[in-house]
Amino acid sequence: MAFYIKGPDFAALKIDTFRLTPQDQKLTFVQQTVVTECIDFSGHEFGFSFVDYENILSFAHPQDKSVDVMGLVVAVAELQRHDPDKSKHKICWFALTFF
């Protein structure tokens, strides 16, 4: 399956957290993050456009273009919106390990 992820955030992982790969950041979904499934996924017209993970963190990649990353979703949490006080809403997140 392939997904478009627009507007995610990055957060540091705890130093003592178990990791499958050496990345020290996690990709998180925040309220403005939009995830849509790519129904007719075939990659870019001329192949994949993989971007180095560090370029994504430093915003060195082109901001107006889609980029490809390959990874494994290792954790998921649901968005909690039960409290009328919006500041107490829990964010939806998932941890993605990049290869």
Tens of pLDDT, residue by residue over 27-70, are: 777 788 888 877 776 655 556 667 776 777 777 777 676 666 66
Count of structural domains within the chain? 1
pLDDT for the residue numbered 23: 63
Give this prediction's pTM: 0.42
pLDDT for the residue numbered 69: 67
Domain holding 8, by residue range, is 3-98
Q: Which residue has the higher pLDDT, 98 or 4?
A: 4
User: Sorting pLDDT into bands at 50, 70 and 90, what band is 88?
Assistant: low
pLDDT at 20 over 60: no
Q: Which residue has the higher pLDDT, 24 or 79?
A: 24
Distance CA 86, CA 88 (A): 5
User: Sorting pLDDT into bands at 50, 70 and 90, what band is 75?
Assistant: low
C-alpha separations of 81 from 21, 75, 90, 91 in Å: 32, 20, 7, 9
